A = this chain, B = another copy of it.
Amino acid sequence: MADASAKPRSTTRGAELRSLIGEEIMTGRISPGMALEEIEIAQKFGVSRTPVREAIRELAASGLVEIRPHRSAIVAKPSPERLRGMFGVLAELEALCAGLSALHMTDEERTQLQALHADLGALAENGDPKHYHRMNEQFHELIYVGSHNDYLAELTFATRTRLSPFSGTQFRARGRLKRSHAEHDRVVAAIMQRNQDAAVAEMRSHITTVEVTYERYVETV
């Protein structure tokens, strides 16, 4: 846990706390439904309540946190139905990104995507879920950027982020790494062939599988 007391000239404590707390939520270290008590967080980071409040309000506006007037904010805990809706939207957004990437990615970006895809292939073989997970995020982000639609990339990234606590577990399912990589393969092929429709369909299918894998994993826990 990095210390937020260091004070670079070009940022503020509130902004740093937003990143730090956001990261804790995204990685599941603070669980959905848990209360975010201002005093406790302020003491933990050695700051006053003010920047803590600011960070919490930003996290609330981006959906990771729910504010209750006169009561402590809590980490958002979506219902199963809402989660399904969110995964459905993520599938559509990522599909849209993939389709636009097929059309608009630069040659350099395509080369990067292929290199990263190859690296992920090696990881899928040696079975390191944590490392695969990190690079998997990079893979997806390359495709968001490759859409060359900033707003779409942001929206997709934000949606993915909100689903982070619920999808990061997917790679613990047996054999998931290899299947994930095979699905990526089809997406990459479509993008390289500049086939928008195929890219859309393969990515949509891939994300739908992520959701199904999560639901199955939860059933076994």
Q: In the assembled complex, which residues on chain B have CB atoms less than 8 Å from the CB atom of A69?
A: 10-12, 15
- The answer, yes or no, to whether A14 is at the interface (CB within 8 Å) is yes
Can you add 20 more A-B contacts, CB < 8 Å, to A82-B151, A89-B152? A12-B70, A14-B57, A15-B69, A57-B58, A58-B58, A59-B61, A61-B62, A81-B150, A85-B149, A85-B150, A85-B151, A86-B151, A88-B149, A89-B96, A89-B149, A89-B151, A89-B155, A92-B96, A151-B159, A155-B155
- The answer, yes or no, to whether A60 is at the interface (CB within 8 Å) is yes
Residue of B nearest to A152 (CB): B89
A3 to B12, CA, bound (A): 31
Instruction: Select which of B61, B149, B150 is within 8 A of A58 by beta carbon.
Output: B61
Q: Contacts A69-B10, A69-B12: A150 and B57 contacting too (C-beta < 8 A)?
A: no
Q: In the assembled complex, which residues on chain B have CB atoms less than 8 Å from the CB atom of A82?
A: 150-151
A1 to chain B, nearest CB (A): 22
Residue of B nearest to A82 (CB): B150
- The answer, yes or no, to whether A53 is at the interface (CB within 8 Å) is yes
Q: In the assembled complex, which residues on chain B have CB atoms less than 8 Å from the CB atom of A155?
A: 89, 155, 159
Q: In the assembled complex, which residues on chain B have CB atoms less than 8 Å from the CB atom of A62?
A: 61-62
State the majority secondary structure of interface residues on A: helix
A202 to chain B, nearest CB (A): 18
- The answer, yes or no, to whether A38 is at the interface (CB within 8 Å) is no
A15 to B54, CA, bound (A): 13
Interface string of A7-21 (1 = CB under 8 A from B): 000111011000000
Q: In the assembled complex, which residues on chain B have CB atoms less than 8 Å from the CB atom of A88?
A: 149, 152
Instruction: Select which of B54, B89, B149, B152 is within 8 A of A57 by beta carbon.
Output: B54
A159 to B10, CA, bound (A): 29
A82 to B148, CA, bound (A): 10
Residue of B nearest to A81 (CB): B150
10 sampled A-B residue pairs with Cβ under 8 A: A57-B58, A57-B61, A58-B61, A61-B61, A81-B150, A82-B150, A85-B149, A86-B151, A88-B149, A155-B155
A86 to chain B, nearest CB (A): 5
